[in-house]
Amino acid sequence: MGYVRTAGMSTAARRRRRRTALVLTGLVALLLVVFLYAVAYYRGWIPGADEDTGDAAATTTAAPQLQPADVIVNVYNATERAGLAGRTADALRALGYTVDAVDNDREGREPQTAAIYFGPEGQAGARLLQTAVPQAELVPDTRTTAEIDLVLGVDFEELEAEATATGTGTG
């Protein structure tokens, strides 16, 4: 009896089993981190390429050339407050924006404050509109036109053309 067996396994078998467990645990942890990163990127918690890289440079060069009159905005009221979209549309017109449709939102979108919906063609216009409505979040969608929807939510505060005009003139 020159050797001792522990729990019926040799030392090499125990090492192999421990190494296998560590490798599998590491792989599962790596997959979990990748999955969480993908979820965070998809939900917008991590800024995407259009905000941090090349598209941001393209937007900064295109934004000064774009004027409010070049931006076509549809204003929709997603609240129970009567006339909110009309008053906001008047304020946007006073700032020089081209307002096309003013109505209640029939698509069931319910932003908390306000949301600017735009397609790839309207990205620069949406960023310009966000300077006039800073509390609005940008929401890209699949539309193929440069037209933009501004949907007003329950926490939206009235947009005053004079205060916004002086605020955008200095920034």
pLDDT digits (tens, 9 = 90+) for 75-111: 999 988 888 989 999 999 999 999 989 998 888 888 8
pLDDT tens for 150-166 read 999 988 888 775 544 44
pLDDT of res. 151: 92
pLDDT value at 171 more than 90: no
Q: For residue 81, is it within any domain? A: yes
Residue at 16 is within a domain: no
pLDDT at 168 over 80: no
End-to-end CA distance of the chain: 87
Sequence-ordered alpha helix ranges (H) in 44-146: 49-52, 54-62, 84-94, 123-132
Classify residue 38: in a domain, yes or no: no
CA gap 142, 119 in Å, rounded: 5
CA atoms within 13 Å, Cβ hemisphere of 46: 8
How large a percentage of the chain has pLDDT more than 90?
Answer: 40
> Do 105 and 79 touch, CB atoms closer than 8 A?
no
Taking the CB of residue 100, how many other CB atoms lie within 10 A of it? 13
Is residue 40 in a domain?
no
pLDDT number for residue 80 = 87
The model's pTM is: 0.57
Residue 28 within any structural domain of the chain: no
| The pLDDT of residue 10 | 83
Residue 39 lies inside a defined structural domain of this protein: no
Residue 153 domain boundaries: 67-170
Round the average pLDDT of the chain to a whole number and report it.
82
Q: How far apart are CA 25 and CA 31, in angstroms?
A: 10
pLDDT of res. 2: 53
CATH number assigned to the domain comprising residue 95: 3.30.70.2390
Q: How many domains does the chain have?
A: 1
- In the prediction, which pLDDT does 73 show? 94
pLDDT given at position 167: 47
For residue 50, tell me if it sits in a domain: no
Residue 100 in domain: yes
Kindly report, residue by residue over 29-64, the tens digit of the pLDDT: 999 999 999 998 888 888 765 554 455 455 444 445
Taking phi over 0 as left and psi of -120 to 50 as alpha, with beta for the rest, 37 belongs to: alpha
